[in-house]
């Protein structure tokens, strides 16, 4: 990157990045009290390049969902601990899993019972023994559609970054992991300085270009393991796992300096922009919101201190 960047080229690159197709293998959680049945399902799906994890004890399903993050769930109907339909309802009560496809796989051949099960949180009902190609096609189609929908739901359409809700969810996941593994975690909030002047002086489309170019700048310069979100209009949020406050400040400061060098060609004169940033390092905050409000306080200090700066 040279000091004066061509904003149009930047935005083109951003669109390329946003469009990159996800091609990780689909992940399927199988819940079945019969080991033999589960093994058959596993082998069929694994043979088609689908990754599986199996639970013979449905009680562990919720913990496993959080850990494995499956694209789809295959549920047995009759298990000693609980019915498949009961488990489906518990899963559906969790906001994060309302749209994960649930497929029942059972020897139950009474159509009324099958329809009843589908009305209680399930999407499809396959009868054992299932034709392998039928199972694979059902899983692939449902998982593909669900993944596509989820990708849209969690992203901001202007920048392709994670949206407000999702970045806070990722922050909370990262917070729990950091606590468990005794590792540092930082959360950064960025806000473009005097952005109203950009809109007022150069028009809303120029404002959008600046927002997009900062989004791309962050994507290119942060690590793959960092999560970047558009927190609000011209506000961004970054989750930095394994990173303490001073290190996060160093990283964002470098980005801040380079971002301030970008020149947006415009009339009557070229435009330059800066941002301010507040960083919070995880201590014992009970949830993501508490950590976010600490970052917000630091951001306020950065603004009060004159803008174009990073505060921890």
In the complex, the residues that contact Mg ion under the rule CB under 5 A are 33, 76, 78, 191-192, 195
Say if CB 288 and CB 307 are below 8 A apart.
no
Q: Tell me if the bond preceding 127 is cis, omega within 30° of 0.
A: no
245-259 and 204-221 are packed helices; what angle lies between their axes, rounded to 10 degrees?
A: 130
Rounded Cα distance between 310 and 236, Å, is: 14
Among the residue ranges 163-171, 174-182, 185-193, 249-257, the one whose residues contact ligand GH3 (CB under 6 A): 185-193
Of the two residues 10 and 302, which places its CB atom closer to Mg ion in the complex?
Answer: 302
Residue 246 interacting with ligand GH3 (CB under 6 A): no
- Secondary structure of 183-195 in HEC code, one letter for each residue: CCEEEEEEEECCH
Contact residue for ligand GH3 among 32, 193, 226, 281 (CB under 6 A): 193
Residue 299 interacting with ligand GH3 (CB under 6 A): no
Residue 204 binds which of ligand GH3, Mg ion, none (CB < 5-8 A, kind-dependent)? ligand GH3
Residue 160 interacting with ligand GH3 (CB under 6 A): no
Residue 254 interacting with ligand GH3 (CB under 6 A): no
Rounded Cα distance between 154 and 165, Å, is: 8
Specify which residues 53 forms β-bridges with. 29
Residue 13 interacting with ligand GH3 (CB under 6 A): no
Say if CB 157 and CB 163 are below 8 A apart.
no
Collapsed DSSP state (helix, strand, coil) of residue 289? helix
Q: How far is the CB of 195 from ligand GH3 (least distance, A)?
A: 3
Name the helix (H) or strand (E) containing 126.
Answer: strand 124-127
Among the residue ranges 21-29, 188-196, 243-251, 253-261, the one whose residues contact ligand GH3 (CB under 6 A): 188-196
Of the two residues 68 and 195, which places its CB atom closer to Mg ion in the complex?
Answer: 195
How many Cβ atoms are within 10 Å of 89's Cβ, its own excluded? 13
Rounded Cα distance between 311 and 253, Å, is: 10
Residue 244 interacting with ligand GH3 (CB under 6 A): no
Residue 199 binds which of Mg ion, ligand GH3, none (CB < 5-8 A, kind-dependent)? ligand GH3
Q: Output the CA angle 9-221-1, nearest 5 degrees.
A: 45
Q: How far is the CB of 80 from Mg ion (least distance, A)?
A: 8
Residue 1 binds which of Mg ion, ligand GH3, none (CB < 5-8 A, kind-dependent)? none
Say if CB 229 and CB 156 are below 8 A apart.
yes
x-or-dash string of contact with ligand GH3, 194-233, rule CB under 6 A? xxx--x----x--xx--x---------------------x
234 counts as catalytic:
yes
Residue 303 interacting with ligand GH3 (CB under 6 A): yes
Q: Sheet containing 72-75: which strands, arranged edge to edge?
A: 51-55, 27-31, 72-75, 102-106, 124-127
Among the residue ranges 1-9, 114-122, 190-198, 245-253, the one whose residues contact ligand GH3 (CB under 6 A): 190-198
Q: How far is the CB of 251 from ligand GH3 (least distance, A)?
A: 21
Residue 311 binds which of Mg ion, ligand GH3, none (CB < 5-8 A, kind-dependent)? none
Q: Which of 64, 108, 234, 235 is catalytic?
A: 234
Ordered DSSP codes for 166-232: HHHHHHHHHHHHHHHHT--EEEEEEEETTHHHHHHHH-HHHHHHHHHHHHHHHHHHS-TTSEEEEEE
Contact residue for ligand GH3 among 174, 192, 222, 302 (CB under 6 A): 192
Residues near ligand GH3 (CB under 6 A) are: 191-196, 199, 204, 207-208, 211, 233-234, 303, 307
List, by residue number, the catalytic residues.
234
């Amino acid at each position: 990157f040279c000091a004066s960047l061509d904003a149009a080229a930047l935005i083109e690159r951003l669109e390329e990045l946003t469009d990159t197709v996800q091609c990780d293998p689909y992940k399927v959680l199988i819940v079945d009290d019969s080991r033999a049945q589960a093994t058959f399902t596993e082998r069929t799906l694994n043979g088609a390049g689908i990754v599986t994890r199996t639970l013979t004890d449905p009680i562990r399903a919720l913990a496993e969902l959080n850990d494995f993050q499956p694209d789809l769930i295959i549920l047995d109907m009759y298990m000693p601990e609980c019915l498949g339909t009961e488990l489906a309802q518990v899963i559906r009560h969790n906001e994060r899993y309302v749209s994960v496809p649930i497929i029942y796989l059972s020897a139950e051949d009474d159509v009324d019972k099958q329809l009843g099960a589908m009305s209680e949180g399930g999407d499809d009902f396959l009868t054992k023994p299932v034709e392998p190609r039928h199972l694979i096609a059902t899983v692939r189609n449902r998982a593909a559609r669900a993944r596509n929908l989820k990708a849209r739901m969690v992203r901001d359409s202007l920048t392709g970054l994670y949206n407000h809700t999702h970045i806070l969810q990722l922050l909370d996941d990262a917070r729990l992991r950091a606590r468990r593994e005794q590792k540092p975690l930082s959360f950064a909030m960025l806000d473009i300085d005097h952005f109203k002047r950009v809109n007022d002086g150069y028009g809303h489309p120029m404002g959008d270009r600046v927002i997009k170019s900062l989004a791309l700048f962050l994507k290119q310069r942060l690590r793959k393991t960092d999560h970047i979100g558009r927190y609000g209009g011209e506000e961004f949020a970054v989750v930095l796992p394994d990173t303490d406050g001073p290190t996060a400040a160093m990283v964002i400061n470098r980005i801040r300096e380079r971002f301030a060098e970008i020149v947006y060609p415009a009339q009557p004169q070229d435009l330059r922009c800066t941002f301010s940033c507040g960083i919070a390092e995880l201590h014992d905050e009970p949830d993501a919101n508490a950590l976010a409000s600490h970052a917000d306080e630091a951001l306020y200090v950065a603004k009060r201190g004159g803008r174009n700066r990073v505060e921890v």
